[in-house]
Amino acid sequence: LQTRLQAGQGYGNTLSCILTVYRNESVAGFFKGMSFPLASIAVYSSVVFGVFSNTQRLLSHFRHGDPAQAPVLADVALASIVAGFISVGIGTPVDLVKIRLQMQTQPYIKANIKLKPTVPGFPVYRGPIHCFRTVLQKEGIAGIYRGAGAMLLRDVPGYCLYFIPYTFFCSWINPDGCISPSPSSIWLAGGAAGAISWVTATPMDVVKSRLQADGVNLNKYKGTLDCILQSYRNEGLKVFFRGVTVNAVRGFPTSSAMFLGYELSLKAMKRDQNETNP
Protein backbone atom coordinates (compact mmCIF):
# COMPACT_ATOMS: atom_id res chain seq x y z
CA LEU A 1 0.00 0.00 0.00
CA GLN A 2 2.78 2.40 0.93
CA THR A 3 4.51 2.13 -2.46
CA ARG A 4 1.27 2.34 -4.45
CA LEU A 5 0.16 5.46 -2.56
CA GLN A 6 3.51 7.17 -2.88
CA ALA A 7 4.48 6.33 -6.46
CA GLY A 8 1.28 5.07 -8.11
CA GLN A 9 -1.52 6.84 -9.96
CA GLY A 10 -5.19 7.19 -9.07
CA TYR A 11 -5.31 5.54 -5.64
CA GLY A 12 -6.52 8.52 -3.60
CA ASN A 13 -6.57 7.55 0.08
CA THR A 14 -5.54 4.38 1.91
CA LEU A 15 -8.98 2.72 1.81
CA SER A 16 -9.31 3.43 -1.91
CA CYS A 17 -5.88 1.89 -2.47
CA ILE A 18 -6.82 -1.26 -0.53
CA LEU A 19 -10.04 -1.72 -2.50
CA THR A 20 -8.40 -1.03 -5.87
CA VAL A 21 -5.55 -3.48 -5.27
CA TYR A 22 -7.97 -6.15 -4.08
CA ARG A 23 -10.33 -5.69 -7.05
CA ASN A 24 -7.56 -5.71 -9.64
CA GLU A 25 -5.09 -8.20 -8.17
CA SER A 26 -6.96 -10.05 -5.37
CA VAL A 27 -5.14 -10.93 -2.13
CA ALA A 28 -1.91 -11.74 -4.01
CA GLY A 29 -1.54 -8.06 -4.88
CA PHE A 30 -0.82 -7.22 -1.23
CA PHE A 31 2.18 -9.56 -1.19
CA LYS A 32 3.98 -8.44 -4.34
CA GLY A 33 7.71 -7.96 -3.85
CA MET A 34 7.64 -9.65 -0.44
CA SER A 35 10.17 -12.45 -1.02
CA PHE A 36 13.33 -10.35 -1.41
CA PRO A 37 12.77 -8.24 1.76
CA LEU A 38 11.70 -11.36 3.65
CA ALA A 39 14.91 -13.15 2.68
CA SER A 40 17.14 -10.21 3.62
CA ILE A 41 15.42 -8.66 6.66
CA ALA A 42 17.33 -10.80 9.17
CA VAL A 43 20.71 -9.78 7.74
CA TYR A 44 19.64 -6.15 7.36
CA SER A 45 18.34 -5.83 10.92
CA SER A 46 21.31 -7.69 12.39
CA VAL A 47 23.76 -5.36 10.65
CA VAL A 48 21.89 -2.16 11.57
CA PHE A 49 21.38 -3.07 15.23
CA GLY A 50 24.88 -4.56 15.43
CA VAL A 51 26.48 -1.40 14.03
CA PHE A 52 24.40 0.76 16.37
CA SER A 53 25.22 -1.32 19.46
CA ASN A 54 28.93 -1.69 18.72
CA THR A 55 29.33 2.00 17.86
CA GLN A 56 27.74 2.85 21.20
CA ARG A 57 30.11 0.48 23.00
CA LEU A 58 33.12 1.93 21.17
CA LEU A 59 32.12 5.50 22.05
CA SER A 60 31.52 4.53 25.69
CA HIS A 61 34.96 2.91 25.76
CA PHE A 62 36.68 6.05 24.47
CA ARG A 63 34.59 8.40 26.60
CA HIS A 64 34.47 6.48 29.91
CA GLY A 65 36.97 3.65 29.49
CA ASP A 66 34.13 1.16 29.97
CA PRO A 67 32.16 -0.24 26.98
CA ALA A 68 29.30 -1.25 29.32
CA GLN A 69 28.79 2.34 30.53
CA ALA A 70 25.36 3.77 29.65
CA PRO A 71 25.78 6.01 26.56
CA VAL A 72 25.01 9.73 26.64
CA LEU A 73 22.63 11.34 24.14
CA ALA A 74 25.45 12.45 21.82
CA ASP A 75 26.74 8.86 21.63
CA VAL A 76 23.26 7.54 20.79
CA ALA A 77 22.89 10.17 18.06
CA LEU A 78 26.30 9.41 16.52
CA ALA A 79 25.68 5.65 16.64
CA SER A 80 22.29 6.24 14.96
CA ILE A 81 23.93 8.26 12.17
CA VAL A 82 26.50 5.52 11.53
CA ALA A 83 23.74 2.88 11.47
CA GLY A 84 21.79 5.04 9.00
CA PHE A 85 24.74 5.27 6.62
CA ILE A 86 25.37 1.52 6.75
CA SER A 87 21.68 0.71 6.24
CA VAL A 88 21.64 2.50 2.87
CA GLY A 89 24.31 0.21 1.42
CA ILE A 90 22.29 -2.90 2.25
CA GLY A 91 18.74 -1.58 2.00
CA THR A 92 18.77 0.34 -1.29
CA PRO A 93 18.99 -2.70 -3.64
CA VAL A 94 16.39 -4.57 -1.58
CA ASP A 95 13.95 -1.66 -1.64
CA LEU A 96 14.54 -1.10 -5.35
CA VAL A 97 13.66 -4.71 -6.24
CA LYS A 98 10.60 -4.63 -3.97
CA ILE A 99 9.31 -1.38 -5.46
CA ARG A 100 10.01 -2.40 -9.06
CA LEU A 101 8.03 -5.63 -8.57
CA GLN A 102 5.17 -3.77 -6.91
CA MET A 103 5.00 -1.03 -9.55
CA GLN A 104 5.81 -2.88 -12.77
CA THR A 105 2.18 -3.28 -13.86
CA GLN A 106 1.06 0.23 -12.95
CA PRO A 107 -0.37 2.38 -15.75
CA TYR A 108 1.35 5.62 -16.70
CA ILE A 109 -0.89 8.48 -17.79
CA LYS A 110 1.68 11.11 -18.76
CA ALA A 111 1.42 11.22 -22.53
CA ASN A 112 4.43 13.49 -23.00
CA ILE A 113 6.90 11.01 -21.48
CA LYS A 114 8.79 8.66 -23.76
CA LEU A 115 8.12 5.10 -22.68
CA LYS A 116 10.56 2.23 -22.86
CA PRO A 117 9.77 -0.63 -25.24
CA THR A 118 7.83 -2.46 -22.49
CA VAL A 119 4.05 -2.22 -22.36
CA PRO A 120 2.56 -0.63 -19.20
CA GLY A 121 0.14 -3.00 -17.52
CA PHE A 122 2.20 -6.12 -18.28
CA PRO A 123 4.94 -7.53 -16.03
CA VAL A 124 8.48 -6.47 -16.82
CA TYR A 125 10.19 -8.76 -14.31
CA ARG A 126 9.51 -12.44 -13.63
CA GLY A 127 10.64 -12.32 -10.00
CA PRO A 128 13.15 -10.73 -7.58
CA ILE A 129 16.25 -12.43 -9.01
CA HIS A 130 15.24 -11.62 -12.58
CA CYS A 131 14.51 -8.04 -11.52
CA PHE A 132 17.89 -7.61 -9.83
CA ARG A 133 19.75 -9.17 -12.76
CA THR A 134 17.85 -7.11 -15.34
CA VAL A 135 18.43 -3.82 -13.55
CA LEU A 136 22.12 -4.65 -13.07
CA GLN A 137 22.56 -5.54 -16.76
CA LYS A 138 20.67 -2.55 -18.14
CA GLU A 139 21.50 0.16 -15.60
CA GLY A 140 24.64 -1.07 -13.86
CA ILE A 141 25.52 -0.48 -10.20
CA ALA A 142 24.05 3.01 -10.44
CA GLY A 143 20.69 1.44 -11.31
CA ILE A 144 20.81 -0.92 -8.35
CA TYR A 145 21.49 2.05 -6.08
CA ARG A 146 18.92 4.35 -7.66
CA GLY A 147 17.36 6.43 -4.91
CA ALA A 148 20.33 5.94 -2.54
CA GLY A 149 20.64 9.71 -1.99
CA ALA A 150 16.99 10.00 -0.98
CA MET A 151 17.31 6.91 1.21
CA LEU A 152 20.33 8.46 2.91
CA LEU A 153 18.33 11.62 3.62
CA ARG A 154 15.56 9.39 4.97
CA ASP A 155 17.56 6.92 7.06
CA VAL A 156 20.20 9.10 8.74
CA PRO A 157 17.69 11.41 10.47
CA GLY A 158 15.19 8.52 10.55
CA TYR A 159 17.45 6.32 12.67
CA CYS A 160 18.23 9.25 14.96
CA LEU A 161 14.48 9.57 15.51
CA TYR A 162 14.32 5.80 15.96
CA PHE A 163 17.00 5.06 18.53
CA ILE A 164 16.95 8.35 20.48
CA PRO A 165 13.19 8.25 21.28
CA TYR A 166 13.54 4.55 22.12
CA THR A 167 16.28 5.32 24.64
CA PHE A 168 14.25 8.23 26.05
CA PHE A 169 11.00 6.25 26.34
CA CYS A 170 12.82 3.32 27.97
CA SER A 171 14.31 5.66 30.58
CA TRP A 172 10.95 7.34 31.12
CA ILE A 173 9.00 4.08 31.51
CA ASN A 174 11.74 2.61 33.74
CA PRO A 175 12.77 5.28 36.27
CA ASP A 176 15.84 3.23 37.25
CA GLY A 177 17.20 3.51 33.69
CA CYS A 178 17.18 1.45 30.54
CA ILE A 179 19.88 -1.06 31.52
CA SER A 180 17.43 -3.95 31.77
CA PRO A 181 13.96 -2.81 30.65
CA SER A 182 10.99 -5.14 30.98
CA PRO A 183 9.50 -6.71 27.82
CA SER A 184 6.39 -4.52 28.09
CA SER A 185 8.57 -1.40 28.35
CA ILE A 186 10.58 -2.48 25.31
CA TRP A 187 7.38 -3.15 23.36
CA LEU A 188 5.88 0.26 24.14
CA ALA A 189 9.11 2.24 23.72
CA GLY A 190 10.00 0.45 20.48
CA GLY A 191 6.54 0.93 19.00
CA ALA A 192 6.40 4.63 19.86
CA ALA A 193 9.90 5.18 18.45
CA GLY A 194 9.01 3.34 15.26
CA ALA A 195 5.85 5.38 14.70
CA ILE A 196 7.72 8.66 15.27
CA SER A 197 10.56 7.65 12.99
CA TRP A 198 8.35 6.53 10.10
CA VAL A 199 6.03 9.54 10.27
CA THR A 200 8.93 11.99 10.13
CA ALA A 201 10.70 9.96 7.41
CA THR A 202 7.64 9.88 5.13
CA PRO A 203 8.54 12.91 2.92
CA MET A 204 11.89 11.44 1.87
CA ASP A 205 10.33 7.98 1.72
CA VAL A 206 7.95 9.33 -0.94
CA VAL A 207 10.88 10.72 -2.94
CA LYS A 208 12.82 7.45 -2.61
CA SER A 209 9.83 5.37 -3.73
CA ARG A 210 9.27 7.57 -6.77
CA LEU A 211 12.90 7.47 -7.79
CA GLN A 212 13.08 3.70 -7.48
CA ALA A 213 9.77 3.12 -9.27
CA ASP A 214 11.02 5.41 -12.03
CA GLY A 215 12.69 3.36 -14.75
CA VAL A 216 10.27 0.44 -15.02
CA ASN A 217 8.57 1.85 -18.10
CA LEU A 218 9.86 5.43 -18.16
CA ASN A 219 12.55 7.76 -16.88
CA LYS A 220 10.89 10.81 -15.41
CA TYR A 221 13.28 12.11 -12.75
CA LYS A 222 16.90 13.22 -13.11
CA GLY A 223 17.70 12.90 -9.43
CA THR A 224 16.54 13.53 -5.88
CA LEU A 225 16.20 17.31 -6.20
CA ASP A 226 14.41 17.01 -9.56
CA CYS A 227 11.98 14.49 -8.05
CA ILE A 228 11.24 16.82 -5.14
CA LEU A 229 10.66 19.82 -7.44
CA GLN A 230 8.51 17.93 -9.97
CA SER A 231 6.42 16.31 -7.25
CA TYR A 232 5.86 19.65 -5.53
CA ARG A 233 4.99 21.51 -8.75
CA ASN A 234 2.55 18.84 -9.92
CA GLU A 235 0.87 17.83 -6.65
CA GLY A 236 1.73 20.37 -3.97
CA LEU A 237 3.13 19.92 -0.48
CA LYS A 238 0.64 17.20 0.45
CA VAL A 239 2.35 14.74 -1.91
CA PHE A 240 5.21 14.34 0.57
CA PHE A 241 2.84 12.92 3.17
CA ARG A 242 1.38 10.19 1.00
CA GLY A 243 1.37 6.91 2.88
CA VAL A 244 1.97 8.55 6.26
CA THR A 245 -0.95 6.66 7.83
CA VAL A 246 0.33 3.33 6.54
CA ASN A 247 3.84 4.16 7.77
CA ALA A 248 2.59 5.08 11.25
CA VAL A 249 0.36 2.00 11.58
CA ARG A 250 3.12 -0.28 10.27
CA GLY A 251 5.87 1.39 12.28
CA PHE A 252 4.49 0.59 15.73
CA PRO A 253 4.19 -3.25 15.63
CA THR A 254 7.26 -3.84 13.44
CA SER A 255 9.49 -1.69 15.63
CA SER A 256 8.05 -3.20 18.81
CA ALA A 257 8.95 -6.67 17.55
CA MET A 258 12.37 -5.50 16.32
CA PHE A 259 13.43 -3.91 19.61
CA LEU A 260 11.96 -6.74 21.66
CA GLY A 261 13.93 -9.30 19.67
CA TYR A 262 17.07 -7.16 19.93
CA GLU A 263 16.90 -6.66 23.69
CA LEU A 264 15.94 -10.26 24.48
CA SER A 265 18.76 -11.54 22.25
CA LEU A 266 21.26 -9.32 24.08
CA LYS A 267 20.01 -10.59 27.44
CA ALA A 268 20.27 -14.22 26.29
CA MET A 269 23.81 -13.76 24.97
CA LYS A 270 24.93 -11.96 28.15
CA ARG A 271 23.42 -14.73 30.29
CA ASP A 272 25.19 -17.43 28.26
CA GLN A 273 28.45 -15.50 28.50
CA ASN A 274 28.13 -15.20 32.28
CA GLU A 275 27.38 -18.90 32.60
CA THR A 276 30.37 -19.80 30.42
CA ASN A 277 32.71 -17.42 32.26
CA PRO A 278 31.55 -17.39 35.91
Domain-embedded: residue 8: no
Domain-embedded: residue 4: no
Out of 84, 117, 141, a domain closes at: 141
Mean pLDDT of 204-226: 85
More confident residue, 237 or 179: 237
Ranges of H-type helices in 104-221: 128-144, 148-173, 183-213
Out of 110, 141, 172, a domain closes at: 141
Mean pLDDT of 162-173: 89
pLDDT tens-digit series, residues 71-129: 788 999 999 999 999 999 999 999 998 888 887 766 544 434 444 444 444 567 778 88
Residue 210 contacts residue 7 (beta carbons within 8 Å): yes
Range ranked top by mean pLDDT from 22-26, 80-84, 138-142, 214-218: 80-84
- Do 86 and 177 share a structural domain? no
Out of 125, 141, 157, a domain closes at: 141
Q: For residues 143 and 31, what is the distance between their CA atoms, to the nearest angstrom?
A: 24
How many domains is the chain partitioned into structurally?
Answer: 2
- Do 161 and 136 share a structural domain? no
- Do 124 and 153 share a structural domain? no
Q: For residues 121 and 80, what is the distance between their CA atoms, to the nearest angstrom?
A: 40
- Do 205 and 83 share a structural domain? no
- Do 270 and 176 share a structural domain? yes
Structural domain of 165: 146-277
**pLDDT grade for 44, boundaries at 50, 70 and 90:** confident
Q: For residues 214 and 197, what is the distance between their CA atoms, to the nearest angstrom?
A: 25
- Do 125 and 91 share a structural domain? yes
Sign of the CA dihedral running 162, 165, 170, 171: positive
Q: What is the pTM of this model?
A: 0.81
- Do 163 and 123 share a structural domain? no
Burial class (CB in 10 A: 0-12, 13-18, 19+), 10: exposed
